[in-house]
């Protein structure tokens, strides 16, 4: 049995779902109309109508589920046949488009689908219901009896409405798992190595892009007003909002394609890190622009006070959300560390899930941005909590969020396809659309190239031109831009922005997503532009991948032959490079994290008894788990993030008296040969983690640790 029959079956079901609905309401309406006037009959009729409405909801949801099923099967087919000209998200959009066309045009055309929903305000009992939907109270007014001739009109109208979801669904249900997964699966090694550049691209870049796009679009709007193409109000703040919405690049497609092609890891880290943080910045930026509300008469002119208020809002929301996410992550880490929950993986997974979700709700409840909080919660969970989980829970949580992420993402993309035809208030303005395309191109160019130039001044291994071109090209817009745009479609300007955003997402996902592979080879990125032996490297990554080892954990030895490395000895050279790359702030944080946070929050790192001053001995002994002494050896293998050669640390604290439990064992004793407590143990670890994972494993136990001269 080949695939086509299955596809036909699914398509048939999809169409059938639409057809089914048309047949039912007549009966319900007749039942409602034919009943007597007794209250019991009316109750029954109301019940039937409610049931009918429930059935229609099921059908519309079923449509999406079948759409997703179809998408999954096609994705499999594409992966199976190694088709790369179209990414799976692009596919989901195409299916969505097809179903949207069917829903819109496949049934008799509708009259008046643009008029607002008019509810009957008669005082019949049971026609006006109070419905409590997830805590909100809504007045649910049932429409009166529908005359048989009108059913099709009304129903068609209804169907389009039914497949239109509340925008908040995207923000509160679909985005959180996607963003959490992004944070949870962030490749920490390369991410931290390029942290400075990533932060620069994400914060400065997004702000630059937002303002450039906003100003360009304001010019376009002015032009449209001159030409007479604008039939509604379009303020400067709207233009800036559009800039914020459209500046959020999507990590999804880049991630998928780069992962599949095993492209350069640094480029991957830059792009992925930028687009993940990008999203957070764009959300908060758009919130601050909405909050920008000048006082006085002219409410849409520039007002310095309001501007600084907006900047304050931006900083407040961002840092608040960041804190919220970090705090929940830390609490989860503490709970999983100090309870023996890991004996019950189900409980552990459930707790992990709930705590991560509560970050979102907590942030929303405090007026911060849940999605941003969830991102940082994901990063914290991956950094600390993950180490405390049982082996089963690790795979469980990863898989759980992977599935949620996959489903949510494909749902959003197929919904986008659907929305092009089913959304009822589209305003397509050719001038605005062309202007927007030009603006996003210029906006991206205006932050990638200058920023790269500035960053290259400070970077030891430069971001090459080809990388810059690739970053320029990879500015895909996806789920986040869509969710931000659909959030408010009440006014003329917002509707136009939404329609334009939709088109930009389509274009970038199809063209850019499909063109990534040719572009990579055209720019010679895969054949060793900067990194000489990428071919070999991706081969070895592939091998690592196949044997189940995260390529991020153990970079291949070829990394060593970086073209910039031409010093006297590899060791000192590496040290210098590491120094120059990581800013002092980052080094400070790293040392704090390594010496205090890791030991407090997880079972790894050096015991607090060695890192804290001696007068904190009691607290240190309380907070250090016995496993730190026991499992030092074991954890070296398990610890997934960038503390790689943790075992070496036994050298540095081997001389201090370990009193908590005596089981530091013979292994520690044999390796603590040098017997000196060095002050720079965290710097050593940082250095090893960031650049020097290419030591031969055999040299591990015998290498002596020299304190660094420079303690900055």
Residues of this chain, 30-59, that bind a second copy according to CB under 8 A: 38, 40, 43-44, 47, 53-59
Residues of this chain, 315-334, that bind a second copy according to CB under 8 A: 331, 334
> What one-character-per-residue DSSP string does 461-503 give?
S---HHHHHHHHHT--B-HHHHHHHHT---SHHHHHHHHHHHH
**Please, which residue, 94 or 213, has the CB nearer to a second copy?**
94
Residues of this chain, 388-417, that bind a second copy according to CB under 8 A: 396, 399-400, 402-403, 406-407, 410
Query: Residue from 4, 123, 226, 340 that binds a second copy (CB under 8 A)?
Result: 340
Q: Which of 666, 645, 543, 584 is nearest to 189 (CA)?
A: 645
- Please give the structure tokens belonging to residue 583: 């800013």
Asked whether position 8 contacts a second copy by CB under 8 A, the answer is: no
DSSP class of 612: S
Residues of this chain, 146-175, that bind a second copy according to CB under 8 A: 161-166, 168-169
**Please, which residue, 346 or 673, has the CB nearer to a second copy?**
346
Residues of this chain, 424-483, that bind a second copy according to CB under 8 A: none
Residues of this chain, 98-137, that bind a second copy according to CB under 8 A: 116-117, 119, 130-137
Cα separation, 219 vs 435, whole angstroms: 9
The distance from CA 508 to its chain's CA centroid, rounded to whole angstroms, is 18
Asked whether position 709 contacts a second copy by CB under 8 A, the answer is: no
**Please, which residue, 343 or 547, has the CB nearer to a second copy?**
343
Residues of this chain, 666-695, that bind a second copy according to CB under 8 A: none
Asked whether position 623 contacts a second copy by CB under 8 A, the answer is: yes
Asked whether position 343 contacts a second copy by CB under 8 A, the answer is: yes
Asked whether position 361 contacts a second copy by CB under 8 A, the answer is: yes
Helical segments of 3-150, H only: 3-34, 39-81, 88-105
We find the least distance from the C-beta atom of residue 346 to a second copy, in angstroms, to be 6
We find the least distance from the C-beta atom of residue 111 to a second copy, in angstroms, to be 18
Q: What angle do CA 33, 39, 40 make, to 5 degrees?
A: 85
Asked whether position 231 contacts a second copy by CB under 8 A, the answer is: no
Cα separation, 671 vs 391, whole angstroms: 28
**Please, which residue, 271 or 486, has the CB nearer to a second copy?**
486
Query: Residue from 11, 15, 22, 72 that binds a second copy (CB under 8 A)?
Result: 72
Question: Residues binding a second copy: what is the number (CB under 8 A)?
Answer: 97
> What angle separates helix 345-365 from helix 391-422, to the nearest 10 degrees?
50
Residues of this chain, 624-643, that bind a second copy according to CB under 8 A: none
> What one-character-per-residue DSSP string does 124-188 give?
-TTTEEEEEETTEEEEEEPP----GGGHHHHHHHHHHHHTPPPHHHIIIIIHHHHHHHHHHT--H
Asked whether position 550 contacts a second copy by CB under 8 A, the answer is: no
Asked whether position 293 contacts a second copy by CB under 8 A, the answer is: yes
Residues of this chain, 481-510, that bind a second copy according to CB under 8 A: 490
Query: Residue from 527, 543, 585, 622 that binds a second copy (CB under 8 A)?
Result: 622
Asked whether position 366 contacts a second copy by CB under 8 A, the answer is: yes
Asked whether position 374 contacts a second copy by CB under 8 A, the answer is: no
**Please, which residue, 50 or 445, has the CB nearer to a second copy?**
50
Cα separation, 242 vs 246, whole angstroms: 6
We find the least distance from the C-beta atom of residue 395 to a second copy, in angstroms, to be 8
Half-sphere exposure in the Cβ direction for 186 (13 Å, CA): 33
Cα separation, 550 vs 391, whole angstroms: 15
We find the least distance from the C-beta atom of residue 452 to a second copy, in angstroms, to be 34
Asked whether position 350 contacts a second copy by CB under 8 A, the answer is: yes
Asked whether position 712 contacts a second copy by CB under 8 A, the answer is: no
DSSP class of 74: H
We find the least distance from the C-beta atom of residue 252 to a second copy, in angstroms, to be 14
Query: Residue from 8, 12, 30, 79 that binds a second copy (CB under 8 A)?
Result: 79
Distance (Å) of CA 429 to CA 228, 417, 495: 12, 19, 11
What are the φ/ψ torsions at residue 461 (nearest 5 degrees)? Answer: -100, 115
Q: Which of 363, 377, 213 is nearest to 282 (CA)?
A: 213
Cα separation, 150 vs 25, whole angstroms: 11
Asked whether position 353 contacts a second copy by CB under 8 A, the answer is: yes
We find the least distance from the C-beta atom of residue 347 to a second copy, in angstroms, to be 5
We find the least distance from the C-beta atom of residue 502 to a second copy, in angstroms, to be 18
> What one-character-per-residue DSSP string does 518-535 give?
HHHHHTT-TT-SSSTTHH
Cβ-contact 475, 512 below 8 angstroms: yes
């Amino acid at each position: 049995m080949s695939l086509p029959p299955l596809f036909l079956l699914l398509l048939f079901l999809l169409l059938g779902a639409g057809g089914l609905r048309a047949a039912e309401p007549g009966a319900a309406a007749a039942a409602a109309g034919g009943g007597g006037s007794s209250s019991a009959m009316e109750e029954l009729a109301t019940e039937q109508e409610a049931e009918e409405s429930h059935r229609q909801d099921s059908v519309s949801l079923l449509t999406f589920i079948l759409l997703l099923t179809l998408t999954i099967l096609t994705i499999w087919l594409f992966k199976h046949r190694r088709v790369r000209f179209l990414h799976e998200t692009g596919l989901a959009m195409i299916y969505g488009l097809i179903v949207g066309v069917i829903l819109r045009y496949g049934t008799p055309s509708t009259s008046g689908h643009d008029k607002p929903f008019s509810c009957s305000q008669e005082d019949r009992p049971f026609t006006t219901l109070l419905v409590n939907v997830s805590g909100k109270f809504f007045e649910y007014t049932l429409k009166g009896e529908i005359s048989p001739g009108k059913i099709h009109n009304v129903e068609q109208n209804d169907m389009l409405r039914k497949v239109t979801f509340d925008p908040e669904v995207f923000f509160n249900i679909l985005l959180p798992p996607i963003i959490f997964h992004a944070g949870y699966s962030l490749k920490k090694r390369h991410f931290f190595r390029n942290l400075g550049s990533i932060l620069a691209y994400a914060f400065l870049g997004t702000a630059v892009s937002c303002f450039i796009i906003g100003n360009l679009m304001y010019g376009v709007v002015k032009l449209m007003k001159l030409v007479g193409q604008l039939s509604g109000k379009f303020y400067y703040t709207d233009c800036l909002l559009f800039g914020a919405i459209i500046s959020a690049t999507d990590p999804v497609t880049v991630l998928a394609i780069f992962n599949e092609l095993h492209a350069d890891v640094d480029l991957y880290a830059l792009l992925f890190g930028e687009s993940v943080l990008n999203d957070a910045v764009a959300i908060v930026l758009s919130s601050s622009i909405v909050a920008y509300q000048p006082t006085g008469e002219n409410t849409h002119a520039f007002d310095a006070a309001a501007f600084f208020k907006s900047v304050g809002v931006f900083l407040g929301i961002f840092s608040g959300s960041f804190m919220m996410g970090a705090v929940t992550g830390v609490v989860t880490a503490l709970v999983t560390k100090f309870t023996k929950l890991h004996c019950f993986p189900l409980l552990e997974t459930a707790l992990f899930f709930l705590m991560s979700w509560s970050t979102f709700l907590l942030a929303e409840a405090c007026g911060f941005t849940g999605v941003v909080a969830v991102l940082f919660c994901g990063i914290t969970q991956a950094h600390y909590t993950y180490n405390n989980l049982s082996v089963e829970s690790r795979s469980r949580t990863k898989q759980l969020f992977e599935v949620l992420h996959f489903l949510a993402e494909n749902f959003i993309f197929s919904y986008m396809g659907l929305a092009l035809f089913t959304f009822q208030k589209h305003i397509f303005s050719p001038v605005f659309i062309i202007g927007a395309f030009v603006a996003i191109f210029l906006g991206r160019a205006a932050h990638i190239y200058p920023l790269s130039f500035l960053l290259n001044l400070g970077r030891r291994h430069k971001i090459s031109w080809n990388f810059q071109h690739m970053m320029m090209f990879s500015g895909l817009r996806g789920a986040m831009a869509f969710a931000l745009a659909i959030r408010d479609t009440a006014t003329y300007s917002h509707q136009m922005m939404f329609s334009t955003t939709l088109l930009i997402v389509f274009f970038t996902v199809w063209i850019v997503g499909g063109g990534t592979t040719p572009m990579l080879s055209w720019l010679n990125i895969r054949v060793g532009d900067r990194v000489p032996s990428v071919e070999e490297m991706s081969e070895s990554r592939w091998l690592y991948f196949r044997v189940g080892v995260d390529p991020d954990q153990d970079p291949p030895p070829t990394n060593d032959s970086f073209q910039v490395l031409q010093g006297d000895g590899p060791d000192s050279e590496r040290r210098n490079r590491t120094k120059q790359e990581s800013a002092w702030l980052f080094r400070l944080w790293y040392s704090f994290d390594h010496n205090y946070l890791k030991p407090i929050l997880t079972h790894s790192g050096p015991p607090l008894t060695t890192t804290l001053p001696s007068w904190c001995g009691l607290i240190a002994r309380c907070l250090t788990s016995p496993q730190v002494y026991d499992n030092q050896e074991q954890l070296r293998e398990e610890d997934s993030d960038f503390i790689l050669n943790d075992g070496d640390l036994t050298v540095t604290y081997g001389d201090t008296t370990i009193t908590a439990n005596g089981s530091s064992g013979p292994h520690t004793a044999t390796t603590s040969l040098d017997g000196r407590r060095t002050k720079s143990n965290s710097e050593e670890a940082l250095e090893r983690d960031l650049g020097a994972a290419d030591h031969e494993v055999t040299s591990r136990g015998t290498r002596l640790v020299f304190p660094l001269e420079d303690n900055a």
